[in-house]
Structure 1
């Protein structure tokens, strides 16, 4: 198959890097990459390039890092380069994956065939910023990726291609992210191959079933042990690794990971009461049922077996968390 579409790529994190490298491995020419400006990272707060920028530089692809595409000289320059990237002619397509900047209409219209977005949900469910986390938190049994023709609305454009996968009972935001990143890369190449052969229809999103995946805030990580164990099990998985769910163990804020439903519930115990500590973790009474936490993390430390962390904190059965 002739993979001669001249592409631009706009993306920033690891999810987008996987898609970019799938395009390059398939032989699609990527003429230009847009990514967010370098950000301070790590304990030394050193300016660090995004995963997409690192990949683009490795493959000798020109990189633009505008602060905004709506205004400023760097935004105007990015628009000009999209319009002239192919010997003075516009790109055929701009691929967008977790870029992080709003694309104004002028950018959406600049490539010959518009802009395609990789979205990590089964649209119209979970439009917005955090579809992976919200799908786990809601207890969805499946999710997937959509290759969507972009328009001005928030993830409202017609869908070109959809691929679905199951959400495992132990999936976290991290593990599901990695599965969807790989699926997204494969789906993107599949969609472009179909587009070349004029076999990629546009399917408008239905008006029913629309939900929005609000951005995750750190405040959401505080564990309310009055909640049912099932609800907390999903939330701990959804917020792993960011922002992590935490509770108070005495004077110490402790993050909790690797949750499973525990049979040792004691309905007479107050929510937040430690029921047991063993090699499998720490069992905590919830508003309904009990939760076993397999890993914990103290401030300034790495996560480790919950039993060891509990012992270091001096936790005992009968104590209350929160």
Structure 2
């Protein structure tokens, strides 16, 4: 058999798949599927374009942009409550549905459409961290290991049997944004592995232990506010979990300002233990080119901040510009602050 005949035969054996996803992590997984050519992507589903930015112009999702680049049909139903939307998907006759961060609830009528199964990529080690925000929650909780689960979908959220699962370590200072990219790469590779096994008939199912399940609720913007009365390690975890979105923030009383200034915090490091009489939130000055702020047990060292409505500043520039009189190369230290020039969240 010639090369041309083998290629045609291989294409005929590939599974037909409909991909469903919306944000960047889903686009990264879709790109992996397209690069590996493991399935024939016949169509893509993504959420409707949403208004964003100051002009509130409707913007396509990352998945839609990628689909259009590759000439793939793109569907954007508001939901699957209508029979028309269900019939439209059924007409595509997919062997598998591949779902990654789609953001819409799929009813049983949709999950019953694929000939073989609906498959979901979930960025946690199920049954732990079921739900909308496993990446942020795992960091917020101070976990050191997470991973990706490829699961067969059921109507209830993230409860289906496990098809493949792989763990990944979390760096001590790793942010949600960095972990997101690592898990997107792992998720794409693991999904390709699962689909190869499905094609060969070697993919196994393992029921989840529902008694071990935990929930990863959607992140609320209010959760991004730093509470300086917490421990330095918990604050470090919160800053990492909320970086880059929605952005960890706190309010600081600035000398000469009529109201507290809202600051977005860079990821820093826990500092030295503090005396018991140091109030949480007090600005301690500059330590190793970082802005030191008192927490419940020790200081926290911020390398930089971004004041509301302004550009990012490193810690020394912010300290000199907002909290101390700094002349040229003069050092900025804790003695430059008076007792009433502290920061309180």
User: TM above 0.5, one fold?
Assistant: yes
Instruction: Report what 2:66 is aligned to.
Output: 55
Tell me the SS of whatever aligns to 2:58: strand
Q: 1:143–1:166: 8 Å Cα contact kept in structure 2?
A: yes
Query: Matches of 1:313 and 1:112 in 2, distance apart?
Result: 63
Q: 1:149–1:158: 8 Å Cα contact kept in structure 2?
A: yes
What are the residue-to-residue correspondences of 1:232-271 with 2, within 5 Å? 232-250=235-253, 251-263=260-272, 265-271=274-280
Aligned length: 314
Query: Matches of 1:307 and 1:209 in 2, distance apart?
Result: 46
Residue 43 of structure 1 and its aligned partner are, at CA, apart by 2.3
Residue 182 of structure 1 and its aligned partner are, at CA, apart by 0.6
From 267, 274, 284, the equivalent of 1:275 is 284
Could you list the runs of 5+ residues in structure 2 that have no partner in the other structure?
1-6, 254-259, 325-335
From 305, 308, 328, the equivalent of 1:299 is 308
Residue-by-residue CA offset, 1:143-196 (whole Å, 9 max, x unaligned): 011001000111111110001110001110100000000110101101100111
Residue 304 of structure 1 and its aligned partner are, at CA, apart by 3.2
Q: Does 311-320 or 59-68 show the bigger shift?
A: 311-320
Query: Matches of 1:96 and 1:271 in 2, distance apart?
Result: 45
Instruction: Report what 2:147 is aligned to.
Output: 144
2:124 is equivalent to residue 84 of structure 1: no
Runs of 4+ in structure 1 off by over 6 angstroms are none
Residue 242 of structure 1 and its aligned partner are, at CA, apart by 1.6
Query: Matches of 2:239 and 2:307 in 1, distance apart?
Result: 16
Tell me the SS of whatever aligns to 2:98: strand
Residue 70 of structure 1 and its aligned partner are, at CA, apart by 1.8
Instruction: Report what 1:32 is aligned to.
Output: 43
Query: Matches of 2:64 and 2:85 in 1, distance apart?
Result: 15
Residue 314 of structure 1 and its aligned partner are, at CA, apart by 2.5
What are the residue-to-residue correspondences of 1:1-322 with 2, within 5 Å? 2=10, 4-27=14-37, 28-71=39-82, 76-85=83-92, 90-250=93-253, 251-263=260-272, 265-278=274-287, 280-314=289-323, 317=337, 318=339, 319-322=341-344
TM-score w.r.t. the length of structure 2 is 0.87
Q: Alpha carbons of 1:311 and 1:264: their partners in 2 closer, same or farther (altered >3 Å)?
A: farther
Q: 1:70–1:103: 8 Å Cα contact kept in structure 2?
A: no
Q: 1:278–1:307: 8 Å Cα contact kept in structure 2?
A: no
Q: Alpha carbons of 1:304 and 1:159: their partners in 2 closer, same or farther (altered >3 Å)?
A: farther
Is the radius of gyration larger for structure 1 or structure 2? Answer: 2
TM-score w.r.t. the length of structure 1 is 0.93
Query: Matches of 2:320 and 2:116 in 1, distance apart?
Result: 60
Instruction: Report what 2:4 is aligned to.
Output: none
Residue 279 of structure 1 and its aligned partner are, at CA, apart by 5.5
Residue-by-residue CA offset, 1:202-226 (whole Å, 9 max, x unaligned): 1111133211011101111222111
Q: 2:159–2:210: 8 Å Cα contact kept in structure 1?
A: no
Residue 83 of structure 1 and its aligned partner are, at CA, apart by 1.4
Could you list the runs of 5+ residues in structure 1 that have no partner in the other structure?
none
Q: 1:264–1:275: 8 Å Cα contact kept in structure 2?
A: no
Query: Matches of 2:128 and 2:315 in 1, distance apart?
Result: 35
Query: Matches of 1:55 and 1:301 in 2, distance apart?
Result: 33
Tell me the SS of whatever aligns to 1:15: helix
- Cα-Cα RMSD: 1.6
Tell me the SS of whatever aligns to 2:266: strand
